[in-house]
Structure 1
Amino acid sequence: PPNGRPNPPPSASSAGGGAPTGTAALTAGEIRGLAEQIGECWNVDAGAPNLSDIVVELRVQLDGQGNVRNVVAANGAPADARSRAVYESARRALLSPQCNPLKVPAAKLPTLMASTFRFNPRGLVR
Structure 2
Amino acid sequence: MAWMGVALVRSPSTFSPSSQAGQRSALATFRRGAFTNLLNPKASVFMLAVFPQFPRKEDGPPWLQALVLGSIIALTQGAVYGAITRVADHARGWLESRPSTSARVAQAVGGLMVLAAVVTVLEGWRGT
Quickly name the TM-score band, shorter chain normalised: under 0.3
Q: Which has the larger radius of gyration?
A: 2
- With normalisation by structure 2, the TM-score equals 0.23
- With normalisation by structure 1, the TM-score equals 0.24
Greater share of residues in helix:
2
Relative contact order: is structure 1 or structure 2 higher (C-alpha 8 Å, sep ≥ 6)?
2
Greater share of residues in strand:
1
